[in-house]
Every structure is written in structure tokens, then in C-alpha cells.
């Protein structure tokens, strides 16, 4: 009986029903959990790996080898910052250790014994790409680099980075330290929902007096001066990873994330992707917050299906798009207003590019629970 009930529920949850008309403008913060790889490259990008996504929906606008496992250099520090914002107290004071002070590569120049807050260390990490800041953060948050790496891997799995593994907070080359362009874009889109992440990566210069820091900081990320609306995120370079760049920028009614990895002309190629998106994509409003998108009619009454947010989706000019609502055809014991009830899906050429779980607009109870049990038993 239990097995048959599960099968019945799965079947009714997959029934396609109504098509929703397109509208224009708005904002959404939903994020699709997967994507379908583009089969045809619209432009040539001189990078080993690249991707561009809409930060709000996660829809892929351009990609090249974006699922390949590769070293990612200091773009690792995006994850380091996310983990610190989740687990750390930004006002905590950290003593710079010998390990932090002697680390190789790009550094801020912190001296052994200096006392620096986690907040300041994050500015040193993201504006100056300080490997010394990365070590100090790891030790300040988790006690050691190894323990912090465990947090990085736990958190990356939690947010759905399925093809990433981290060994350090700074990204210097190690055999088991890798990610993908897609995972980096996804992590950045999630990070952009945090006000402190936005504040840090969008800062061009910060005076030490603003937060009583030990020194002032200038951002080495040139993309902030090259693309209109650019507001982050992170550069990177090692011998194995090559030159890397993760960029975020305001874009029409939304925001885009662009990632290029192992890309010597990283500024130029990022600008090229941005201009391609500008020329080829518009944003359209699929539905409005609290809009009724359909209804399911049962013997006991009707359940209205609503969206709990405005949904704005990027549409490629000349593309073939459809929007469908999948709605349940059978009522279980009851449904409460606000319960998950149905799904909105947007397709490009029959490939899913965005989905949103819809809500019940009203409550409805089964009139006769005993009858429901009897019907289910009989069907088994």
C-alpha cells in the first residue's frame, strides 16, 4: 500500500496544466538548482572555462566547459568569505600567527602578532587577495586551516556545489583543491544575497578610519572600473589555474555573474561576454507576487495556486520559450494556505531554465478522512 501511494503522489505531481502569459519587468531571488548545458557556442571566448548566469534565477546565459573540474586559485576566497560570514563574528579580534605572516603569494603584509578583526581581514582577503588574511581567518574562525577546510566542504555541499573540494582558504595549488565555473557562479549568486559580501567586494577603496582598521585598502580588481554596474567579485592566479576572474554586475532589470577560468585576457573576455549578454538578452516578467496562476478543483472545493514573489526571467532575443504550471490533481488530507502546491517552470526550446515552487492561496480540508483512507486502501 505504501509503495502504491508514493507512485500515485508522484504521478499527480507531474501533471502539466496551464500556460502563463509573459509580462515585463520586476525582481526575484529564486535560484534554479541545475541547468542544461548549451550545445552551441554563440561567441568565442579565450578561456578554458567560462559561464554567465542570471544571479536571481540561475539561468545560464553562456557557458564553455563550465562543469570541468579545475584549480581555481584565489577565487576560492569567495567560499572563504561565505563560510566566515556564516560561522564567524566579524568583530572578533584575531592575532596574526607566524603561519599567516610567512605565507607565500599575494599578501596584505600583516605582521606576526598584529591584532586584526575578522571584518578587516575579509577586506584584506577580497580587496588585496591576501593569503595571509586567508590563514588568519581560518585560524580565527575554526582554529586551524584543516578545520576551516572541513567547514568549507560542509558548507559548499549544503549550498549545492556538487563538483567542488577545498583544502585551503586561499586557493594556492593543491591536488585535491578544485571547483568548476558553474559552482563558482552558483556560490557567487548565493553570496550576493549577503549585504556584507556585497559591501566588501563592491568597495574600490576603504579608509582605515571607516571601521577603525589597521590600514586602508585599495581593490586590485580592475573589472570594477571596466564594466558599467560592476560590483565585484574576485580575481585569481596560480601556475596551474592560470588567470581567473569572477565578476558580478548590475544588468538591465537583474544582475549577472560572469566567470572566466584559465583566461589570460580575463578583463577583455569578461567584457566581451557582458557585451554579448547586453546585445542578446532581455528580461521579462513571468508573473507577479500573489498572482493566481491556476486552481485545482476538488470535490471539497478549490485551491488557488499563487506565486509568492515576482518572477523575472532572462529571454534570449528570438528564442522559443514556454511557461507552464504543474498542479496537483488530488487532495491529500488537507492543504493549508502557504503550503507548497504546484510548480512553475520556464522552458527554452523544451529545456528547463527556471523553476519556482508555488503556494496554496487558501486552505482546504478533506470532508471525510475515513473515506480518504478507505479510497487509498482500495486503490492499493
Bridge partners for 335 per DSSP: 364
Question: CA-to-CA distance for 14 and 321, rounded, in angstroms?
Answer: 20
Whether 77 is catalytic is: yes
Question: CA-to-CA distance for 165 and 41, rounded, in angstroms?
Answer: 28
Whether 48 is catalytic is: no
List the one residue out of 133, 167, 130, 170 whose CA is nearest residue 151. Answer: 167
The catalytically annotated residue of 64, 77, 234, 285 is 77
The catalytically annotated residue of 64, 66, 74, 156 is 74
Whether 74 is catalytic is: yes
| Positive or negative: CA dihedral 22, 24, 28, 34 | positive
How many Cβ atoms sit within 10 Å of the Cβ of residue 168?
21
How many Cβ atoms sit within 10 Å of the Cβ of residue 97?
18
SS3 for 344? strand
Do 246 and 50 form a contact (C-beta atoms < 8 A)? no
Burial classification of residue 85, based on how many CB atoms lie within 10 Å of its CB (0-12 exposed, 13-18 middle, 19 or more buried): middle
Give the dihedral of Cα atoms 248, 249, 250, 254; nearest 10 deg: -40
The catalytically annotated residue of 66, 129, 249, 254 is 129
Query: Which residue's entry shows cell 554563440?
Result: 42
Residues with a catalytic annotation lie at: 74, 77, 129
Amino acid at each position: 500500500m505504501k509503495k502504491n501511494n508514493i507512485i500515485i503522489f508522484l504521478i499527480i505531481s507531474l501533471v502539466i496544466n496551464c500556460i502563463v502569459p509573459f509580462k515585463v519587468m520586476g525582481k526575484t531571488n529564486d535560484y534554479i538548482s541545475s541547468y542544461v548545458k548549451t550545445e552551441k557556442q554563440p561567441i568565442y571566448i579565450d578561456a578554458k572555462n567560462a559561464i554567465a548566469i542570471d544571479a536571481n534565477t540561475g539561468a545560464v546565459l553562456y557557458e564553455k566547459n563550465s562543469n570541468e573540474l579545475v584549480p581555481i586559485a584565489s577565487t576560492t576566497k569567495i567560499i572563504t568569505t561565505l563560510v566566515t560570514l556564516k560561522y564567524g563574528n566579524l568583530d572578533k579580534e584575531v592575532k596574526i600567527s607566524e603561519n599567516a605572516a610567512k605565507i607565500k603569494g599575494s599578501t596584505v603584509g600583516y605582521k606576526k602578532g598584529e591584532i586584526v578583526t575578522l571584518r578587516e581581514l575579509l577586506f584584506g582577503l577580497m580587496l588585496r587577495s591576501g593569503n595571509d588574511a586567508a590563514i588568519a581567518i581560518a585560524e580565527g574562525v575554526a582554529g586551524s586551516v584543516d578545520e576551516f577546510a572541513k567547514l568549507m566542504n560542509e558548507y559548499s555541499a549544503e549550498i549545492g556545489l556538487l563538483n567542488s573540494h577545498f583544502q585551503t582558504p586561499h586557493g594556492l595549488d593543491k591536488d585535491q583543491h578544485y571547483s568548476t565555473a558553474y559552482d563558482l557562479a552558483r556560490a557567487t549568486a548565493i553570496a550576493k544575497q549577503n549585504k556584507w559580501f556585497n559591501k566588501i567586494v563592491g568597495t574600490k577603496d576603504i579608509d582605515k578610519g571607516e571601521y577603525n582598521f589597521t590600514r586602508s585598502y585599495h581593490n586590485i580588481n580592475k573589472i570594477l572600473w571596466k564594466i558599467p554596474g560592476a560590483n565585484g567579485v574576485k580575481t585569481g592566479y596560480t601556475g596551474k589555474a592560470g588567470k581567473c576572474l569572477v565578476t558580478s554586475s548590475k544588468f538591465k532589470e537583474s544582475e549577472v555573474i560572469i566567470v572566466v577560468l584559465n583566461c589570460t585576457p580575463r578583463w577583455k573576455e569578461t567584457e566581451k561576454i557582458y557585451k554579448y549578454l547586453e546585445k542578446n538578452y532581455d528580461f521579462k516578467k513571468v508573473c507577479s507576487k500573489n498572482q493566481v496562476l491556476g486552481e485545482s478543483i476538488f470535490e471539497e472545493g478549490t485551491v488557488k495556486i499563487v506565486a509568492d514573489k515576482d518572477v523575472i526571467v532572462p529571454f534570449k532575443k528570438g528564442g522559443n520559450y514556454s511557461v507552464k504550471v504543474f498542479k496537483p490533481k488530488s487532495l491529500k488530507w488537507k492543504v493549508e494556505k502557504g503550503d507548497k502546491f504546484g510548480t512553475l517552470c520556464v522552458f527554452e526550446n523544451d529545456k528547463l531554465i527556471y523553476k519556482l515552487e508555488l503556494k496554496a492561496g487558501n486552505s482546504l480540508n478533506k470532508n471525510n478522512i475515513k473515506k480518504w483512507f478507505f479510497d487509498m486502501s482500495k486503490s492499493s
